[in-house]
Structure 1
Amino acid sequence: MNIIDKSLESGLFFKQKDRHVVEKLVSLMFTKKIKKKETLLRHGEICKEIFYVQKGLLRVYIINEGKEVNTWFVQEGDFITSINSYHRQKPSEHFIEALEDCEIISIKKTTLDFIMKNNHKAALFATNELFNKLCDYQEQASALRFMNAESRYSYLYEKQSEIFNRLSQKQLASFLGVDTTYLSKIISKYKSK
């Protein structure tokens, strides 16, 4: 979904009659085409942007004891950033990498600050999106903290079933914290339910 349609979708803040305003605001942002395996953000970099995924699939991961560990997946219609790095301008602990060729809208922090100061509907939309993400993160943190691999599989399937055929077994196993052999057993068990 493109960002203009996303802004108009709920009708809470921007209405169809505001399309020209939304288009003007979006013109302040940058569209990037990102190739598969290209990294948008690296560990240690300061995140100065929020990314909106118009097309494609991204993964968020950390390096733990020398191994890549997927922490979440982001698809079309979602915003992503390294929140702590973006808000506090501290080095990121995360990597954000394209799993497919993607089209991303990049919103610089300075641009978003300007838009929010000068357009109350944009500020309300951004605040609403932020709170939606915070709700998701709180749910993910609470749910995933105490779940075993089978429960995490079920949770991810419930939340993002449409990405399963877009992930490799290695990527999914990394998210679950298991090897691919054990993942096959989880998948078999899950399908037999």
Structure 2
Amino acid sequence: MGKPAKDMFDPKVFLAKVGMGKAILGYRKNKIIFAQGEVAESVFYVQKGRVKLTVISEQGKEAVVGILEPGQFFGEGCLNGRPLRIGTSMAMEDCVITSITKDAMNAVLDGEPKFSELFMAYLLTRNGRIEEDLVDQLFNSSEKRLARLLLLLAHFGKDGPPRPVLAAISQETLAEMIGTTRSRVSFFMNKFRKLGLIDYNGTIKVHNSLLNAVLHDKPHIAADRAVDRE
């Protein structure tokens, strides 16, 4: 006898197909997926491309709070009763996005343990990243925060070789993500390049030496902590 159909459920296949309450959407570069203040009624999943999440304060100041890649969810705040979007999501490059209505998302979470495991793993990873970011902001210099961000964007510590960081991630975006100025990011990027920690020509190629510098708190990364903190 074959396995019951429920045992054959594949979360990745489910997310890649159109179905009840699901749509597969294409977004061109720089297109808004949802805007801050809009009604929140769907969860999204990145199939292809990168998505930037931003928040605008009451004073009109914009901050980048995340860059999402394939395999990541966003907009899940609607599941805990949040009626409006608290930020804006925008395609950084041509993207393919799965949209799942709140009702459809709750149904698959209740009915499919494998999907629940996938979603829970995402939530735990995201919460761990938030905690690490908070510690980073509290205790590290802006130089070291930039080094850590480049390592994360290049996928150090994940399966497979490090990836180049796309040129679409500008110095302004990097500055917003680590809480400093574009001029400081430019200064540190040039410094990292001169030290041989990165290559920076169209895309950013991060070398293992940058990881070693961060892990071992080398002087050229850790120095001037009080001066660099902004």
Aligned residue for 1:61, secondary structure, equals strand
Aligned residue for 1:165, secondary structure, equals coil
- Residues 8-35 of structure 1 deviation map (CA, whole Å, 9 limit, x = unaligned): xxxxxxxxx8266864574432110012
How do 1:130-141 and structure 2 match up within 5 A?
Answer: 130-141=123-134
Cα distance in structure 2, aligned partners of 1:186 and 1:22: 39
Q: CA contact under 8 A between 1:70 and 1:171: conserved in structure 2? A: yes
Cα deviation, residue 114, structure 1: 0.8
Partner of 1:4: none
Cα deviation, residue 156, structure 1: 0.8
- Pick from 120, 124, 133 the counterpart of residue 127 of structure 1: 120
How do 1:96-115 and structure 2 match up within 5 A?
Answer: 96-115=89-108
Matched, 1:94 2:87: yes
Cα distance in structure 1, aligned partners of 2:140 and 2:44: 29
Aligned residue pairs total 176
AA aligned to 2:174 is L
Partner of 1:18: 8
Aligned residue for 1:47, secondary structure, equals coil
Matched, 1:75 2:77: no
Aligned-pair Cα RMSD in Å:
2.5
Cα deviation, residue 132, structure 1: 2.4
Cα distance in structure 1, aligned partners of 2:46 and 2:76: 14
Aligned residue for 1:53, secondary structure, equals strand
How do 1:57-72 and structure 2 match up within 5 A?
Answer: 57-64=50-57, 65-72=59-66
- TM-score, structure 1 as length reference: 0.77
Structure whose alpha-carbon radius of gyration is higher: 2
- Residues 137-164 of structure 1 deviation map (CA, whole Å, 9 limit, x = unaligned): 2222332344332122112112112435
User: Structure 1 residues 98 and 22 mapped into 2: Cα distance closer, same or farther (>3 Å)?
Assistant: closer
Partner of 1:172: 174
Aligned residue for 1:93, secondary structure, equals coil
Cα deviation, residue 111, structure 1: 0.5
Q: CA contact under 8 A between 1:61 and 1:68: conserved in structure 2? A: yes
- TM-score, structure 2 as length reference: 0.66
Aligned residue for 2:140, secondary structure, equals coil
How do 1:178-189 and structure 2 match up within 5 A?
Answer: 178-189=180-191
Cα distance in structure 1, aligned partners of 2:173 and 2:11: 40
Q: CA contact under 8 A between 1:38 and 1:97: conserved in structure 2? A: yes
Cα deviation, residue 181, structure 1: 2.5
- Residues 20-59 of structure 1 deviation map (CA, whole Å, 9 limit, x = unaligned): 6864574432110012121122211232222211111111
Aligned residue for 1:105, secondary structure, equals strand
Structure of greater relative contact order (alpha carbons < 8 Å, 6+ residues apart): 1
Aligned residue for 1:178, secondary structure, equals coil
Matched, 1:40 2:33: yes
Cα distance in structure 2, aligned partners of 1:175 and 1:42: 19
Q: Which structure 2 residue ranges, 5 or more long, are not aligned?
A: 1-6, 155-163, 198-230
AA aligned to 1:101 is D
Q: Which structure 1 residue ranges, 5 or more long, are not aligned?
A: 1-16
Q: CA contact under 8 A between 1:49 and 1:106: conserved in structure 2? A: yes
